[in-house]
Each structure stands twice: as structure tokens, then as C-alpha cells.
Structure 1
Amino acid sequence: MSLSPVTLRRDGTVAVLHIDNPPVNALSPATVQGLIDGLKAFEADASFTALVLHCEGRTFVAGGDIASFDIPDFSATPFNSFLARLEGQARPVVAAVHGTALGGGLELAMACHWRVATPSTRVGLPEVKLGLIPGSLGTQRLPRLAGPVLALDMMSSGRMVDAKTALAAGILDEISELPPLQAAVARAQALAAEGWTLRRASALAVPADKIPDGFLDRTIADAAAKPQYPALGAIARSVVAACTLPFAEGERAESENFMGVLRSPQSVAMRHLFFAERTANKIPGLPRDVTLREVQRVGIVGAGTMGGGIAMTFANAGFPVTLVEATDAALQRGVGIIRANYEATVAKGKLKPEAMAERLGRITPTLSYDDLAGCDLVIEAVFENMDLKKEIAARLGAVCKPGAIIATNTSTLDVDQIAAATGRAADVLGMHFFSPAHVMRLLEVVRGAQTAPGVLATVMKLAGRIGKVAVVSGVCYGFIGNRMAEAYMREAEFLLLEGATPAQVDGAVESTERLGLAMGPCRMLDMAGIDVGAKTVIELDKSGGLPADPSYRVLVRALFERGLFGQKTGAGYYRYDGRKPLPNPDVEALCIELAARHGITRRSDITPDEILQRLMFAMVNEGARILDDGIAYRGSDIDIVWTAGYGFPDHRGGPMCWADLQGLGNVVAGIERLAATCGNAHGYWTVSPLLVRLAQSGGKLREATAPGVK
């Protein structure tokens, strides 16, 4: 029989409900039951003068057990009933808050009569990040304690506030330098001795003078403007209820709003991503006791857009960086761009000038590869050309010290070929950052055929130190993200040749009703650089990787040949007035010319739904093939790549989750329909066997794994 994570202890005349549920004292069903049992024992013992809630470890309760939300008959009633009993006690109840009090943890603390916290404590109600709302009276107690304006901001953004802010707002009652338990017991004893009138949040009303004119109407209207996030509307309605209704009626309103979003597709998708990020770090077959390599100093080869962004990423995280370029002009240009990026951040008030100077001081520019000899990790970040990358790899293999990790930032090329050129392939892997590298969260870690386990484990651990979410990929053209993006761009180009405009193609996937991408494929490639996209196709052609289709990606190569590189040249798929995209008549004429040359029939009946299906089904089908090929370990890893690296909407959960929510049977039928209508001479619309198997078995693509992965 397992022990309860909650125990009732005695500290003099004070009872201590002690929670020990590592790592973050989450409110698991066992923890909730332990709290219920502990409170019952306290109620039965009249010798106690007060009750303290205290948590073991580095934090107070940092949230609920998110997995329990998937239980078909999940109910918040047991915990909410406990909170009502806790708040209703006739003896003082004090929360000893430290670390973070988040979600159900803050709701637990707010049901206490007094909250004493350490100076470093942070509190918040971040349920909106899971597509949910606080379900244990957070929407009712927080506006009563802190006022509706701050409460709404905290719940709608999910942001935490520090202890001083929480104290000033009335969320906390005291900040103490003493250890949490000692401070809370002392306060409980004092409150009991003083005969202090107990302060219950549920008995408070939101003062009319704390509700700004028009606030309630604006709250509802602002949430209605973002229908893709129904939790915002549910939070808004619950806060309005807190301001206008008695507590019991507000409680009913919150319960209805919570249950209304619990099973919503948006919440299913966002909870999926929550677990997917945590699962991505689990590498099948990697020993737990593998020895990590020390990384203290980092080298970067290439001071262009990617190299400069990578240098900033490591400098921001406190690493000294050696930045190498081939010419002084290129080096000075790169350092100038880094400085300009930092200056822009300072101008926005997001970075102090002294912090900028400190970060710049960590970056040492040089023209000598010999200066990389002391680095523990060296990342090659030059443009996508295999010959150039192999030449640099050979130089790094010679100059880097024994045990140093050598990484390539290639976005598409064969990492094993680059690794072989170093002469020390076990030390090599891919570290594919996404542009801008100092902003985007994703790091694709490409595991080569000979990459040593310790090298892989070290880089996965390092990703967290530099603020990235890392996903492991095997070696193939484009890895996970760009291999799928190639299928996506293939269909975007064919649609343009068949008669769709760039605005139509982009609009179909940018529409919040259909998908909600921040940027469609044409705008995306214009921003990234059509020259970059074309060079990857050209390199793939050199390696013999293109299909035997003369019309394949002819448009991007034609734009490249004409010097139309997108925003950087003022014209690409669009022409640009500043950053504003406008129709480009030259592209329409080019599409007509290319369609005629390749026998592609132009038509005027292309609908937004057809565009969405062709782009998404192509991407999903390729994702399933990637899984079957063992390039990705899990469907959830693919979803992280697309949400963290390509701006795929979190409320859709990534392309694999999106396919599940459409119904895999519908996806398979749609691909088969496209094979019949578009033709399938080159296998573009051959359904992945994995998709067929999952559709037949009722499985989920987001939960699928590569062969041999458990």
C-alpha cells in the first residue's frame, strides 16, 4: 500500500498539513485525497489552535495533475469542496508559500485565511496556456483579493507575478525572510493568540470603485475578438460573474465555463503540446548514466544571419563565444548586425544598456580558426553548400581539441557526410537553429549514424540552458521540419501554377477559421529569402534527390534566377512597400509561362478548402512517412517542431494533432481523392502505410511512434 503524499503533523499547538509530491507537489488525485483526509483529522482534534499548509522541496503546489483532465469522468468537485471546508474553518489557516504557487496551488493558497511567502515566490493562474480556465474558484477569489483588472490580466495571459506585486495587490498577506514553515507557524500562533477575525476571500465583494468604467463590456468584447481561444471568453465571463454575482452563483458560472472548454479541441491540442515538450527530451536507447561533456566555451563559424543569431543565443545564456568569419568585412558586418539587434531590444525597454554591453563583451570576433582550439562546442553556420560545409568540417576536425563537440547548423544537408569530413564523426551532430536563432524556441538536434551517445545527451541538456526546446531527428533531406515543409511548398507552388494567387494560398491557411497560421507559405518564403529556399532545392537536385518531375519547384528556381529573393530585394511572390506585401504582376505572368511550358492546366475554381487540404494533407502524409522511416521518434515530436519552429498555431496542436482532430479516416480519404483529381504519377499522393494503419485501428497520429520505439 503506497503512502499518502500528504501528512498531518504537529508543531506545538499548530497542525501542519505537509505535502510531499515531487517534483512540483502537483495536485494529483492522491494529493487531493490526502488533503481531504488531513483536514478531517485536524477538524477532529480540538487541541490544535491553527492549521498551516506547507510543501516539501523547492516549491509550493505548482499546479494540478494535468493528466487527470483526460479522465472521462474528471470532476473538480472533490478539491473544490475541500477548499470550501478549508476556508470555512473557525481556526486560522495559513499557507506557507515558497517557489511558485500556480494554478490549483494558488487556488489552494487563496482558500487559506493568511498567506505568508518568501521574497522569491511567484504566483499565477496559467491555465489559459492549456486552453483551460481556473476550475477551483480562481476566477472568483482572485478578483476579490486583487481586483478584477489584475486578475483578468493574470488569467488571460497566464503570467506570474512576483511576491512584492502579489503583496501590494492583496494576493499575499506577508513576505518573510524566515524559512516558509517557521514563518507560517509563527503567524498561525500569533493569529490564534490574537483572536484575529478570519478573512475569507469568498466573503469579500469586488468593490465598485475597482471596476473601471466600461471594463466588463470591454472584457467580453476583447475575448470575443479571439474565438480561436475559447478559454479567453470563458475567463472573461467568469470574471464578470465575480464582479456582478454572489460567490455561490459565480462558482456555478465558473464551473459551467470550465466544463465548456475542458473537452474543446483547442484545449486537447494545447494539453497535448504540454506533454509533448516534456516527452521530446526522452531519447530511446540512450543510457541514463551516459557521461555528459563539459561545455563552457562556444565557437561559431559564420557571422551571417544564422551565425550571428546563434552567437547571441549563447551570449544571452552567459557563454563566452568565439565568432569566426572568412573576411574582415563579413566579420564587421556580422558584429554590426548583432549590435543593432541588441540596440533594438534596448530601445524597446526589454534589455538594459549595461546588460547589452555585458552580452556583447562575451562575443570575441576573429578571422583565425586557431582561436577555436579552446572551445568545447563549435557550430558551423555558413550557407547551404555541401562542398563548403565539408571543407569547413575538415578544418574543424583538425583544429578542435579532443572531446570537443562539432555541430553543423545545416537545415537540409546530409549530416553524416559533413561528420565524415571532420575525421571524428562520433563528435559530430546537427544543431539546426531556426531564424531568428536568438528568438525562435526550436532546436532540431540531428543524430548522425556515428554520433556518440554522450554528444547527443550533452546537446539535449545544453538546449535547456540556452532556452530552447529540442527535438531529435534522424538524418535525411530536411530532417523533420524542412522535409515536411518541402511537401507543403510543393503543393503551394503547384497551386500557383494552376491559377491560385499568393494571397489566396496564404489566406487559406492564415484564416483563423481554417487554420490560423501567422504566415502562409508565400509570405514565409519571401521573409526567409527565396534564394535560401531555392538553394536547398538546387542542392537536393545535385544529390539526385528530386523526383523525376520537370515541373517540380520550377517557380522558386525561376524567381531565384531572376533575382527576386523576397523582402530583401523588394519583390518575390509579392512586391513590397516597406514590409507590406502587395500583388506582384510579374509572378502571375511567370506562373502562366511556366504552366504552359509544363502542360499544367490553369483554372479559376480553386477554393480555400482545396488549398488547405492540399497543403495540410501533403504535410501530414510526409510526417507519417517520417515516423515510419524512423527519422522522428514520435508524432508528438513532429508537432513540437512545427509549433516551436514554424509558427503552427498552438491551439491546433501541430500537424499530427490537427490530423487526429480531423479524423484520420477523413484524412486518408482526402489524400486518395487528391490522388484521383491531381494525378499521382510521382507518388505525391500515395498514402503513408502508417496513416492507413492508424485510420483502420482508431489510433492517433500524435501518439504514434517510430518502429521499435516504445
Structure 2
Amino acid sequence: MSQTQYATHGDVAVITMNNPPVNGLGHGLRTGIVEGLRRAQADSAVKAIVITGAGKAFSGGADIREFNTPAALAEPSLHTVIRAIEGSAKPVVAAIHSVAMGGGLELALGCHFRVAATGAQIALPEVKLGILPGAGGTQRLPRVVPLEMATNMIVSGAPVKSEKFKGTKLFDEIVEGDVTEAALAFARKAVAENRGLPKVRDLKIEHEDAEAFLQFSLNTAKSVAKNFPAPAACVEAIQAAVRLPFEQGMARERELFLHLVQTPESKALRHAFFGERAASKVPDVPADTPLRAIKSAAVIGAGTMGGGIAMNFVNAGIPVKLLEMKQEALDRGLATIRKNYENSARKGRMTMDDVEKRMSLIAPTLSYDDIGQADIVVEAVFEDMPVKEQVFRKLDEVMKPGAILATNTSTLDVNQIAAFTRRPQDVIGTHFFSPANVMKLLEIVRGEKTAKDVLATTLALSKTIRKTGVVSGVCDGFIGNRMIEQYSRQAGYMVEEGASPQQVDRAIEKFGFAMGPFRMSDLAGNDVGWYIRKRRYVERPDMKYPKIADKICELGRFGQKTGAGFYRYEPGKRDAIPDPVVDKLIEEHRKELGLEPRKLSDDEIVHRLIFALVNEGAKILEEGIAMRASDIDMIYLTGYGFPLFRGGPMLYADQCGLYNVVNRMKDFAANPHGDPSFWTPAPLLAKLAADGKSFNG
């Protein structure tokens, strides 16, 4: 079936791109445009041509379904299409509505004229994939809009509404109403007035001191985005547009594009882009699974986590019943939510009217009887199975049939929790990350009896509340916390062996993590991990743990909330200050163990931490707890501060080469202290390494 539609409206031909959902410029669509142009050229009755898009976009750019396939490079390429448009003997008018992004905007820039609908989103977002516009975007856009505006758009990738371009040469008209009708009228007018066939490529870039501005932009890009080469390369391509004739500028753009495509940073960003989309797909849950309506919600617990979860619903316009057992706790929770919103208002992110509207969507209550009609209820109570049991038995009594019963547990058995009810099919894990109103990740835990429509609804809900939903099976700690436990164990072992907490944190932060393991533990609360370890000592007596973290907790040093943990903290500040008390504790602990401290390199620290994640991730994949390696990476990119430019632990291992990962793990196993048995490669990792394969093959 053709991906374009050709029709004539009197003396104007209309080529309509029709490749849902956003008219991606795939091979079939590119071919259809060229054929439509040729057909219009051959028809003597046609005096002009309009190109537009069917459905909800003019064009969203490249067809992502063709990425990494031969079709993406097949002729006619987008360059060929644009040359055909520019070379048309009859004027070509782009009729732009809704969205013109990436290659879609580059296509429009190749047209002789452009008519846009008010409110259309205009962008060159390629930088977000670690590349740059590769079909003339860096060369043409600065010729039609001010250089500063073009540079900001290309370097940031941010969309701009069409009306912001009023007075520039980008659009010949910006109209209300039917943009295709307006483009038809404009095309006839252009022919009648003999406006010719103007080309963007022939325009000059105008600026008082382009070289100075672009040098400043280049320095800024290198400083602000030091781990990402694409922003600086974007500026270099724009410099070529200023300095060189058009065709030479195009050649420089192409050279920079081809270099960026091969960089590990671009591969990481593209991996994250596709990984986020893959995460929403569950093989045995059809895309057309009917969803349960979520028009109201309830949250059990108004503490830090419960309040943040409630804010997620409210931010999406979903009213929430917020339940607590005591009035003081309820008042405290509501005050914290209000304070968070008022802080956002002070920063200009919302108005005080917005604050009041959102607060009005929260109905506080002390009675379970008030929440029974909610479509979904999320418990955010203490991480203790008897407490969860009490809550879920009560929810089973009061919630209406068909309500989704969600637990925010971070480690406990969702199947056991579901068994406390007579409707385990309605129970699901929704593991939010703190602060829940900020962190992007939602780990969705599918129980053995969770209904498919409950899973599909929860995945859809994650998008509604602007989270990245990733599905996990049931195991202790699920995906994220099960892996981070091994990471934290290795961090503790390395301190026992001779590293300081600040050296470990500095090494992994230099690698790109937002926060090292000890600063992270202090922020989350050291007592949280301590509680889990005490449970492990009973349930998994075979599992060894370094004991420094326990000794820190025994002193009541639970982190930032108590002013002391692995570091000390000044009142009202979050700066982690090394503490001689901790140094002395570590020194005495080493003596108890009979360990002579040794010097650890940053490279050892980083790779013991990362490969601990990788080995446990391989076990999780093999057990089917995670559906795909990219799901693990999405969890670590969106919930654990793993550096985006490295793409997640599993992709990082792939880029190191799994053969090399296994060999490095053998080196770590030779160390008698850091739990040598842990460094036995997971069977899946060993097999992939032996076969020369990767996790993300």
C-alpha cells in the first residue's frame, strides 16, 4: 500500500504523506513523494504542488521502525527527496500542521514555500539521539531564522511553536484553520504573482558577528555537555554553514553526522530511546488489551513516599484520597505536599492558582470507608510484611470490584501480598522511587496471578503520570534493588580492603553516576538497607555482607536525616563532609578482620561496582525476572543515576565486550575478600561471552 496519496485540486497537486502514526520518512514514503513530484511535473494542468501530512503530524522525521535496517539508507534518501523538491520546475509549498520535526522540518526547508498552522511544534531533536540533523538542517535553518535561534534549536533539540517564527523567513504564512486549504490558496497566489522558485540554500546567514557568537556557543556546549559530543558537533556544523559555500557546508554536516553515529554516546542515547519504547511492550499482553478506567485514586500513607505518589496522580489531574491513621501524620503529609508545590510556584514552574487547584484534588481521610470507590489504590506503608498484610486484608474488604490494588513495596514478595486478598488478579507492584514526584522510574511488578488488563492499565497509567514504566517479575528486590544490593556489597568490601567511602564515591561519580553508593545510602537512609540486611541474615544465612554499614547504623548514623551517616551533614545542608569518626570506625574494623589496607585504583572500584550489577543482571535475565536487557538499562538510567551517555550497565558491558567482562571478573574472583564466589559468571553471561554475543544483540 502506498504511503502517499496524490490528488489534484484544480491546478494544484497535493501529495499527502500517510505513514502513521507520525508520517515517519521511511523508504516507502520517500519513494511516494518522489513519484508524486514526477507525476505533477508531467501534468501540464498542474501549476504548483502542496506537500502535507495525514493524521496528527506533518512529519515527525525518520521512521524509527527502519533504524539500523537497510531501508533507512536505501534510495531515494531524504537528501534525494529534498533535491527533487528543490529542483522542481513548479513551486512546492509545505503545508505544516501539528508536528514538523527532524527530517520532517528538513523536508519543509527544502520546499520553495512554507505555510504553517498556529501551534505546530517545530524542532530538530536529533541531538537527543547523540547525532545532528543529517539532511541539511544545520545548513538551512540558520538561513531562515536568526542565528541565535537556530543554534539554540539545533543544540537543544527543543520544540518551538510555529507562531514564535513570525517575522522570520521560515514560514511564508502562519494561519488558523485548515492549513492545506491555506497552502492551496498560497500556491495559486505564488503562481499568479510569479514568485519563482526560491531556495533556502541561496539565502545568506545574517549576523553582526557570527564567528564570535558561534565560538561562544561551541565553548558553552563543550562545557555544559562535556560527556556528549553531539551539541558541540552541531555548533561545528553551523560554523560550516557560516564559513563555507552551501555544498561544502552540507559535506561537513554529513562528515560530522557519520562520525557521531559511531560514537558510544550516540549508541547509548539511541539504546535508551528504543529501550524506553520497548519497555512498554509485554509479549503476552496484546497492544489492544482493554484497559480499566482510572479516574480516581487512593494512597495509603502520607509520608514522604505516599505524598510523592499522591502528587503524581494530582499532577495528571486524577483526584486522590489520601489515607493516614493519625491526624498529625495526615496534616504533616499535606503540609509537605503544599510546601513542594509552593516551592515550584516560587521557581516559576506553576502559579499559585495551580497550587490551589492541585491541592483541591487531594481529599484527606482517616477512614478506609472513604476510599472504597477509587479505581486504583497504592499502599505506601512501612516495608514490613505483617504491616502490608494488615493493609491488604482491609483493602480487600473495602475496595470496589475491579479496583487495582497496588503495593509500593521495594523488596517484598508481591505474590504473598496478593494472597492476603480474595482477588490476587487485581494486585500489582508499583515500586516508585524517592522522591516519587520527581524520579522518572516506575518498576511495575507482575505477580503470578496479576491479570493482563491490570498490567496493561498500569503500564498506560505510568505514561499518564509521566513515568517510565518497566515490568519486573517477582523476586526479592525485583530488578533494581536486587542488583543494587550486589553493587553496595562490593562498595562495602572495597572499604574494608583499603578504600575510603569518599574515594569509592568519587571514582563512580567521575565515571558518570549522579551519586556514589555511600552518598546514595546516606540520602535514602542507611536504616533502610540495615532493615533489609537483618532480614537477609535470617532468610539467607549463606550470603556474606561487609559489616561496616551495620556498624554505622548501630551508632544511629542513618544519613542526612540524622545529620550523620558515612559522612556528616551541617543542619539544613546536603553537603557530604568526610568524618574522622567514620575513618576511625573503619580502621578499627579492618584490625578486627586482620586486614592490612591496600591501595585500590579507581578503575578497580568502578568495574567491581559495574560488573557486580552486570552479573546480577544476567541472572535476572536468565530467570525471566526482566524481559530484556534494555529493561534493566532503563531501570538504571531512570531510577539509579546511571550515566545516560553510557547507556546502562548491560549496554556498557556489551561495549566493553562480554569476553573482557568475564576475564575481568576472574581477576576479581582471585581477591580472597570480596566474596570470590559471587564473581563466578552467571551462566547466561558465560554463554554469551563464549559465543561472541551480547546482551543487546
Report the RMSD for the aligned CA atoms in angstroms.
Answer: 1.9
The answer as to whether partners of 1:269 and 1:652 remain within 8 angstroms in 2 is: yes
Relative to structure 1, the CA distance from residue 680 to residue 335 in structure 2 (aligned partners, 3 Å threshold; closer, same or farther) is closer
1:518 corresponds, among 510, 514, 524, to 514
Could you tell me which of 44, 47, 50 is aligned with 2:45?
47
TM-score (normalised: structure 2): 0.96
Pick the aligned partner of 1:581 from 576, 582, 593: 576
Distance 1:6 1:404 in 2: 45
What are the equivalent positions in structure 2 for 1:496-645 lying under 5 Å apart?
A: 496-511=495-510, 515-542=511-538, 544-545=539-540, 547-549=542-544, 552-577=545-570, 578-599=573-594, 601-645=595-639
| Preserved contact between residue 385 and residue 539 of structure 1 (Cα < 8 Å) | no
Q: Is the 8 A contact 1:497 1:602 kept in 2?
A: no
C-alpha distance after superposition, 1:132-170 (max 9, x if no partner): 100000001111111221112112211100121133444
Alignment check: 8 A CA contact 1:50 1:189 kept:
yes
C-alpha spacing 1:478/1:159, structure 2 compared with 1 (3 Å): same
Is the counterpart of residue 686 in structure 1 residue 684 in structure 2? no
* Partners of 1:363 and 1:568 in 2: CA distance: 27
* Residues 565 and 228 of structure 1: CA distance in aligned 2, closer, same or farther (over 3 Å): same
Secondary structure of the 1:208 match is coil
Cα distance 1:43–1:547, how it changes in 2: closer, same or farther (>3 A)? farther
Amino acid at match of 1:584: D
Q: Give 1:662-673 correspondences, 5 Å limit.
A: 662-673=656-667
The verdict on how the C-alpha distance between 1:390 and 1:598 changes in structure 2, with shifts beyond 3 A counting, is farther
- Residue type of the alignment partner of 1:49: K
Shift of residue 193, structure 1, vs aligned partner: 1.2
Instruction: State the match for 1:19 in structure 2.
Output: 17
1:4 aligns with 2:19: no
Deviation of 1:74 after TM superposition, in Å, equals 3.8
Equivalent residues, number: 693
Other structure's SS at 1:677 match: coil
Identify unmatched segments of 5+ residues in structure 2: none
1:468-489 per-position Cα deviation (integer Å, ceiling 9, x unaligned):
1111101111100111111111
CA contact (8 A) 1:69 1:262 kept: no
Over 3 Å counting, the alpha-carbon distance change for 1:51 and 1:244 in structure 2 is: same
Q: Give, in whole Å, the separation in 1 of the partners of 2:356 and 2:215.
A: 46
The residue number in structure 2 matching 1:706 is none
Structure 1 portions without partners, runs of 5+? 704-710
AA partner of residue 526 (structure 1): D
Residue 105 (structure 1) aligned with residue 98 (structure 2): no
For the residue of structure 2 that corresponds to 1:702, the secondary structure is coil
- Is the CA contact 2:668–2:676 (under 8 Å) kept in the aligned structure 1? no
| Separation in structure 1 between the aligned mates of residue 247 and residue 543 of structure 2, nearest angstrom | 69
* Structure 2 partner of 1:34: 32
Specify the alignment match of 1:322 in structure 2: 321
How far residue 7 of structure 1 moved from its aligned partner, in angstroms, is 3.6
* Structure 2 counterpart of 1:521, one-letter code: P
Secondary structure of 1:86's counterpart equals helix
Give 2:336's aligned residue: 337
Structure 1 length-normalised TM = 0.94
Which residue does 1:707 correspond to in 2?
Answer: none
Kindly indicate whether residue 693 of structure 2 is the aligned counterpart of residue 702 of structure 1.
no
Preserved contact between residue 139 and residue 246 of structure 2 (Cα < 8 Å): yes
Contact preservation (8 Å) 1:143, 1:151: yes
CA distance in 2, matches of 1:361, 1:215: 48
Query: What is the one-letter code of the residue matched to 1:393?
Result: F
| 2:429 corresponding residue in structure 1 | 430
The structure-2 alpha-carbon separation of the partners of 1:616 and 1:691, relative to structure 1 and needing over 3 Å to count, comes to: same
Return the alpha-carbon distance in structure 1 between the equivalents of residues 96 and 491 of structure 2.
Answer: 53
Looking at structure 2, the residues matched to 407 and 382 of structure 1 have their Cα atoms a distance apart, in angstroms, of 12
- 161-170 or 23-32, which deviates more: 161-170
Contact 2:308/2:337 (CA < 8 Å) preserved in 1?
Answer: yes
Aligned amino acid, residue 640 of structure 2: Y
Bigger mean CA offset, 496-505 vs 679-688:
679-688
Percent identity, aligned pairs only, is 46
Question: Structure 1, residues 512-551: CA drift from partner, whole Å, max 9, x if none?
Answer: xxx3111111111122221222223233334x035342xx
Contact 1:76 1:135 in 2 (8 A): no
C-alpha separation between the residues in 2 aligned to 1:175 and 1:154?
19
Which secondary structure state, in structure 1, belongs to the residue aligned with residue 15 of structure 2?
Answer: strand
**What amino acid sits opposite 2:182 in the alignment?**
A
Q: Render the CA deviation track for 1:478-501: whole Å, top value 9, x for unaligned.
A: 100111111111111111111111
CA distance in structure 2 between the aligned counterparts of 1:325 and 1:20, rounded to whole angstroms: 52
Letter in 1 for 2:274: F
Identify the residue that residue 708 of structure 1 maps to in structure 2: none
Query: Given residue 636 of structure 1, which amino acid in structure 2 is its aligned partner?
Result: S
Change beyond 3 A, Cα 1:363–1:168: farther
- The 10-residue stretch of structure 1 (119-128 or 582-591) with the greater mean CA deviation from structure 2: 582-591
Determine the C-alpha separation between the residues in 2 that align with 1:361 and 1:606: 55
For the Cα contact (< 8 Å) 2:496–2:597, is it kept in 1? Answer: no
Change in CA separation of 1:436 and 1:113 when aligned onto 2, cut-off 3 Å: same
Report the CA distance shift for 1:75/1:289 in structure 2 as closer, same or farther (over 3 A).
Answer: closer
- Aligned partner of 1:70 among 44, 68, 71: 68
> C-alpha separation between the residues in 1 aligned to 2:328 and 2:385?
24
| Shift in CA distance, 77/403, structure 1 to aligned 2, threshold 3 Å | closer
> 2: CA distance between counterparts of 1:217 and 1:34?
41
Q: 2: distance between equivalents of 1:680 and 1:674?
A: 8
SS at match of 1:378: strand
- Corresponding residue SS for 1:610: helix
Amino acid corresponding to residue 607 of structure 1 in structure 2: S
Q: Which moved more, 1:195-204 or 1:520-529?
A: 195-204
Q: CA deviation at 1:289?
A: 4.9
Tell whether the 8 Å contact from 1:98 to 1:117 is kept in structure 2 after alignment.
yes
Pairwise CA distance, 1:401: 1.3
Is the CA contact 1:68–1:74 (under 8 Å) kept in the aligned structure 2? no
For 1:6-63, what per-residue CA distance to the aligned partner results, in whole angstroms no more than 9, with x for missing partners? 2432111111122111111101122222222222222333331111101111111101
Quote the offset at 1:415 in angstroms: 1.2
For residue 590 of structure 2, give the secondary structure of its aligned residue in structure 1: helix
The alpha carbon displacement at 1:598 in A equals 3.5
- For residues 230-276 of structure 1, give each alpha carbon's deviation from its aligned partner in whole angstroms, at most 9, with x where no partner exists: 11121010111122222222111111110110111111111111111
Q: Within 2, Cα distance between the matches of 1:597 and 1:362?
A: 56
What is the CA deviation profile of residues 611-670 of structure 1, one whole-angstrom value per residue up to 9, with x for unaligned ones?
Answer: 011001100000000001111111111111111111212221111111100001000111
User: Which residue number corresponds to residue 86 of structure 2?
Assistant: 87
Distance in 2 (alpha carbons) for counterparts of 1:622 and 1:652: 18
TM-superposition CA deviations, 1:165-203 (whole Å, max 9, x none): 133444333222232321211111111111124432111
- 2:235 aligns to what SS in structure 1? helix
Deviation at 1:678, TM superposition (A): 3.9
Query: Which range moved further: 583-592 or 256-265?
Result: 583-592
The one-letter amino acid of 1:501's match is: S
* Per-residue deviation, 1:117: 1.8
> Secondary structure at 1:406's aligned position in 2?
strand
Contact 1:128–1:232 (8 Å) recurs in 2: yes
Judged with a 3 Å threshold, the aligned counterparts in structure 2 of structure 1 residues 524 and 131 are, in CA distance, closer, same or farther, namely same
> Does structure 2 conserve the Cα–Cα contact (< 8 Å) formed by 1:321 and 1:362?
yes
Give the distance between the partners of 1:478 and 1:681, measured in 2 at CA: 20
